[in-house]
Amino acid sequence: MAKKDITPKKSKNHNQILRVMAIYQYAAQCKKFNIHEAINHIKEQGIDDNPNIRTVQRDLELLLNDLQYLRSEQSGKSVIYSIIEEYAPSTAISAKPLIENDELSVHFLKAHLKNYKNTPFASKINQLLVEINKDYPGDVIPDDFLYWNRSIGEYDYSSYANILKILVDAIVNKKWIKVQYQKVGATTKRFHEVFPLRIFNYNNGLYLVAYYPKYKSFINFKIEFIYSLAEPEVQYEIPKHDFDFEDYFKNRFGVMEGEIKDIKLRINKGYEGYFERRNWHQGSKFSTQNGYRILEMKSPINIELYSFLLSKNTMITVLEPKELKVEMKNLLLKLLEDY
């Protein structure tokens, strides 16, 4: 007797769901885009090798008119699309899982969407969930897990409701703000007039990325160290600089920038599997030297790199550069003195 095919059958809407998800996640990556860029992204995700313009237009119309997740504006002969900020997904939703495992990515997305069930736009969310459930039924990821307080040292932002509300309003409505801020280790507070761009989550904390005209560059503020927000005396022109989130982190380790150095770390025996399946830094790569696996990356040497190395204790050893080896020895000697 022939074996029964138990592979779940996909409905005719299966490819559309994947295309719409890909566009939605692409829009959430701090980008404005046109239909041709959306088509290229769908191809890159491996969802459809040759999607036609009319098909993708229908996908965009679903997000624009039915679900109302996107906005559009005319720019010359092109229509430019961008996500409406209140519908932007949590930073926990990444486009990458869609490449590696589209089913698991969909279930993560479902879990996030369920958290909007008591909001004013719940009916639109439910429409999307109904379509997704036709191809991906069941509850695989518990929605409560997404916000489970599982991180040691996670900051409590319950008293920051007003500051977060002002920041969101300034980002959405493109307003300059005056930030009263006291950085780590400082003894005084300072005021900074900046143009806020995005809020992101990193290592149990929330950060604001803003354009700082004083340095003509983008900088970040840790939100827990913001003491007050106010309108500046003068509303400057909206900066014309395009912000690229990925490019912003290219010359940083964690959220801190610095002079880029070539870093080489030896992975000690028995820990190769732990390191090789993880992404440690943009552009990091692995090689082999004297029978050991080597993790190589270009990174600034800063306190976050020190913390990372110390947290891995005997799993890794610094090979290069010499200044990093010296600093790690000094840190360990200081720790020995303290204990």
Q: Which token pair is 223?
A: 């939100």
Q: Write the pLDDT tens digit of every residue in 219-242.
A: 889 989 999 999 888 777 787 767
Over the stretch 150-185, which tens digit does the pLDDT of each residue have?
A: 556 667 777 888 888 888 888 888 889 999 998 877
Contacts with 322 (C-beta within 8 Å, 6 or more apart), sequence order: none
Token pair recorded at residue 259:
């002079």
DSSP 189-215: -EEEEEEEEEEEEETTEEEEEEEETTT
Instruction: Report the distance separating Cα 240 and Cα 85, nearest Å.
Output: 19
CB contact set of 54 (below 8 Å; sequence gap of 6+): none
Listed in sequence order, the residues at least 6 apart from 177 whose beta carbon sits closer than 8 Å to its beta carbon are 166, 167, 170, 193, 194, 195, 196, 229, 230, 231, 232
Q: What is the DSSP letter of 29?
A: T
Q: Report residue 42 as tokens.
A: 């769908």
Average pLDDT, the chain: 80
Q: Partners of 211 in the beta sheet?
A: 195, 218
Angle between helices 14-27 and 53-61 (to 10 degrees): 70
State which amino acid sits at residue 321: P
Query: Cβ-count burial of 60 within 10 angstroms (0-12 exposed, 13-18 middle, 19+ buried)?
Result: buried
Q: Which amino acid, residue 13? A: N
The answer to whether 218 and 209 have CB atoms below 8 angstroms apart is yes
How much is the pTM?
0.57
- Sorted by where each starts, the structural domains of the chain and their CATH numbers stand as 14-144 (1.10.10), 159-243 (2.30.30.520), 256-338 (3.30.70)
Per-residue pLDDT band at 25 (split at 50, 70, 90): confident
**For residue 33, pLDDT beyond 70:** yes
Tokens of 294: 């080597």
The two three-digit tokens of residue 269, written as one number: 């025996």
pLDDT, residue 93, reads: 40
